[in-house]
């Protein structure tokens, strides 16, 4: 377990960012489900719960998912699942249980960029971006391979780009970490397959081809050989 000296309820993102810049012993608190598994001495634990970042907002262009929205929020959000063919429900439904998903946050799941993450693999398969307090808006696939920083992930942005998409994962036990994840999509005349749940971070394969049975089979062979 970790030790926290000061628990601070942030009054603004600016205050949270400034506190977080004071070193690695200061940390943004998400759901605290992965963090509590380690041992560390935390000087300032910075809570963003009072900043209204737990909302999922929809407009004509897409969705804005606040960093404090939970995995159960995206699992059950009618708009997200209608737009993306129940992708969000399928991608997170095996993650431990509803009680866990009611605590785990989208921001914490993405910012950690864990190799085992269903959530990261899923978002990398979409036209998705992260909004960082200091770094601005960054494509999800680019963010996944960026070096860790002391920035704050404010929200995830998912555009309503026309897409065909599905998600599958392989687990040895139904609620355990996945041993393989796959988010496959067809968007902007491009096939994309994101493979995660591996020792390294999730990786994306892309190829621009017409949507037909022959091109699908050819792309499957190409990705499998890699």
pLDDT per residue as tens, the chain (226 positions): 778 888 999 999 999 999 999 877 888 888 777 776 677 788 889 999 999 999 999 999 999 999 999 999 999 999 999 999 999 999 999 998 899 899 999 999 999 888 788 999 999 999 999 999 999 999 999 999 998 899 999 999 999 999 999 999 999 988 888 999 999 999 998 999 999 988 788 899 998 887 787 888 888 888 888 8
Give the pairing type, strands 56-58 and 62-66.
antiparallel
Q: Reduced to 3 states, what is the DSSP secondary structure of residue 148?
A: coil
Give residue for tokens 């205050």. 15
CB 182 within 8 A of CB 195: yes
pTM, entire model: 0.90
The confidence score (pLDDT) of residue 126 equals 96
Rounded Cα distance, 165 and 161, in Å: 11
Rounded Cα distance, 150 and 24, in Å: 8
């Amino acid at each position: 377990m970790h030790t926290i000296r000061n628990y601070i309820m942030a009054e603004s993102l600016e205050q949270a960012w400034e506190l977080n810049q004071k070193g690695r012993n200061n940390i943004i608190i998400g759901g605290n489900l992965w963090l509590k598994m380690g041992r560390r001495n935390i000087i300032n634990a910075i809570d963003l719960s009072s900043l209204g970042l737990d909302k999922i907002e929809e407009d004509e262009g897409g969705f804005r998912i606040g960093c404090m929205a939970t995995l159960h929020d995206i699992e059950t959000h009618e708009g997200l699942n209608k737009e993306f063919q129940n992708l969000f429900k399928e991608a997170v439904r095996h993650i431990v249980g509803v009680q866990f998903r009611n605590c785990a946050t989208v921001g914490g799941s993405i910012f950690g960029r864990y190799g085992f993450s269903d959530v990261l693999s899923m978002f990398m398969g979409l036209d998705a971006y992260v909004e960082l307090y200091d770094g601005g808006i960054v494509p999800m696939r680019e963010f996944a391979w960026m070096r860790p920083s002391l920035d704050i992930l404010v929200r995830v942005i998912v555009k309503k780009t026309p897409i065909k998409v599905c998600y599958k994962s392989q687990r040895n036990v139904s609620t355990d970490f996945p041993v393989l994840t796959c988010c496959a999509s067809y968007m902007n005349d491009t096939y994309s397959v994101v493979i995660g749940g591996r020792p390294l971070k999730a990786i994306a394969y892309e190829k621009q081809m017409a949507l037909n049975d022959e091109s699908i089979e050819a792309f499957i062979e190409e990705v499998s050989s890699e």
